[in-house]
Amino acid sequence: MNSIDLLLDDDNELKFKVSIQGTRPGNAFCRFMIEGPEMSYSFDGNVTDSGDVSVVVPSFKNILKEGIYDTRLEVFVNDRYFVPLKLKADFRQSINVIAESFNSERKKPKATAAFISNNSKKKKTTPNTKRKIAETKTKRNSPTLTDNDLLSIIRNAVRGDSK
């Protein structure tokens, strides 16, 4: 018994040469059968005048598992049934290549510095000291508002009143 390789995840076109011999010509009909473990599948063939039969087997990606299945070509002529060809079909996934990009973690460059000395004769001030001086000046120059004062200002602004 011959065998053929078929792809599970792609359409497969099969071509056969069929010769019908007899005393009188008849109308021929062909189909390709695949026998699965739970179900059989049949696919109609297109017969040409020259006797060629073309059958398209669609993708069986989510229907069959990879493996070897019994198949046959069936030919019907008028009221007669023939099986001129039996094959073993080896269904396999086609080869896929998947590439994914990823970011590798690189060490980011760092620059560090340390204060060594100050050559000027000014009084040394650190950033924290400058901030405290600015906060002190702000506090002295701005009036202190209570929560009630703020609510009163908001209510007057909403009503359109002004003090």
Confidence band of 150 (pLDDT split at 50, 70, 90)? confident
Write out the CATH class of domain 2-92. mainly beta
Per-domain residue ranges for the chain?
Answer: 2-92, 127-159
Average of per-residue pLDDT across 77-99: 87
Given pLDDT bands bounded at 50, 70 and 90, which one contains residue 109? confident
Give the pair of three-digit tokens for residue 161: 């009143």
| pLDDT (0 to 100) of residue 73 | 93
pTM of the entire predicted model: 0.55
Question: E strands, the chain, where?
Answer: 2-7, 12-17, 28-35, 40-44, 46-47, 52-57, 67-77, 80-92
Task: Give the separation between CA 62 and CA 54, rounded to whole angstroms.
Answer: 24
Once rounded to an integer, what is the mean pLDDT over residues 64-79? 91
pLDDT reported for residue 74: 93
pLDDT value at 43 more than 70: yes
Q: In 3-state terms, what secondary structure has residue 76?
A: strand
